């Protein structure tokens, strides 16, 4: 017990390196200066001089911002600021890692919460054409294969987000789905409640928003139950 308390109170020292500091300073610089996409940053040598470090260190710092998608480098032009893609770094990290169980559960839950919260936007934006497309997707549900089912899930729920009119959200859920699939497949439990995709479409067509929320909850019920045993 004592050691645990220690570990919590005295977190690692981790003295920052020059590159860490440069990274921070560059971030500040980007924030302070109101760069427009395409604007050029000072050149590496100038930054190096201003910060009092070698060009190498500056390059390491810049390299990190590049990874975040905040800058791009053009020969002769120098480094230019670009509007970063919010999800790209998230995507990079979500893929390769082995998450701990807690985070895994959190992410699993996150997706459920998103699905459950979608109703309002759907009922605000849906059109007859949307429903028709959704209906078609739901009809092609026959395939049984595992990889196929995932593809189908992606198609159906992806279309839902599309109807909601939120591209970021759609991409987000596409990223989440493999994780979702990983969790659902490691146990041999039903992956669908008593309400299936076709039923959901039917509700979306003729039912109220409240009906839809209830339907979605039924549809996701096995997953919610799965949370108990995590």
Partner DNA sequence: TATGTATATATGTTCTACATATTAAAGGTA
Partner DNA sequence: TACCTTTAATATGTAGAACATATATACATA
The residues of the shown chain that bind a copy of itself, judged by CB under 8 A, are 14, 17, 19, 23, 27, 30-31, 34, 56, 59-61, 63-64, 66-70, 72-73, 83-84, 86, 89-90, 92-100, 102-103, 105-107, 109-110, 112-121, 124, 164, 166-169, 172, 210, 213, 217, 224, 227
Question: What does 43 interact with, of a copy of itself, DNA, none (CB < 5 to 8 A by kind)?
Answer: DNA
Phi-psi region of 52 (alpha: psi -120 to 50; beta: other; left: phi over 0): left
- Judge residue 164's burial from the number of C-beta atoms within 10 Å of its C-beta, 0-12 exposed, 13-18 middle, 19 or more buried: buried
User: Residues 121-160: x/- map of binding to DNA (CB under 7 A)?
Assistant: ----------------------------------------
Whether the Cβ atoms of residue 227 and residue 108 lie closer than 8 Å to each other: yes
Supply angle C-alpha 47, 52, 54, rounded to 5.
75
Report the nearest approach of a copy of itself to the CB of residue 136 (Å). Answer: 25
> Among residues 84, 101, 114, 131, which one has the least CA distance to residue 175?
114
How far the first Cα of the chain sits from its last, in Å, is 25
Q: How far is the CB of 84 from a copy of itself (least distance, A)?
A: 5
# residues contacting DNA (CB under 7 A)? 23
Q: Which residues in 56-115 contact DNA (CB under 7 A)?
A: 56-57, 59, 62, 73-79
**What Cα–Cα distance (Å) separates residue 189 from each residue in 58, 105, 159, 180?**
52, 17, 25, 14
Side-chain-facing half-sphere of 153: CA atoms under 13 Å: 23
Q: According to the binding rule CB under 7 A, does residue 53 interact with DNA?
A: yes
Q: List residues binding DNA (CB under 7 A).
A: 15, 17-19, 41, 43-45, 52-57, 59, 62, 73-79
């Amino acid at each position: 017990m004592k050691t645990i308390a220690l570990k919590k109170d005295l977190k690692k020292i981790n003295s920052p390196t020059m590159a860490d500091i440069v990274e921070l300073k560059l971030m500040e610089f980007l924030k302070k200066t109101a760069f427009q996409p395409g604007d050029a940053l000072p050149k590496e040598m100038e930054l190096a001089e201003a910060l009092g470090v070698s060009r190498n260190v500056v390059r390491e710092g810049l390299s990190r911002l590049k990874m975040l998608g905040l800058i791009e480098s053009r020969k002769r032009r120098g480094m230019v600021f670009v509007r970063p893609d919010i999800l790209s770094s998230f995507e990079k990290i979500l893929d390769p890692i082995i998450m701990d169980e807690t985070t895994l559960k959190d992410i699993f839950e996150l997706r459920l919460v998103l699905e459950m919260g979608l109703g309002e936007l759907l009922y605000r934006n849906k059109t007859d054409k949307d429903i028709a497309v959704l209906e078609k997707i739901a009809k092609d549900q026959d395939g049984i294969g595992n990889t196929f089912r995932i593809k189908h899930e992606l198609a159906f729920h992806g279309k839902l987000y599309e109807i909601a009119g939120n591209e970021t959200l759609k991409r987000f859920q596409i990223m989440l789905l493999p994780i979702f699939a990983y969790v659902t497949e490691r146990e041999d439990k039903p992956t669908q409640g008593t309400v299936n995709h076709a039923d959901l479409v039917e509700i979306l067509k003729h039912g109220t928003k409240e009906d839809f929320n209830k339907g979605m909850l039924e549809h996701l019920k096995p997953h919610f139950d799965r949370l108990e045993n995590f």
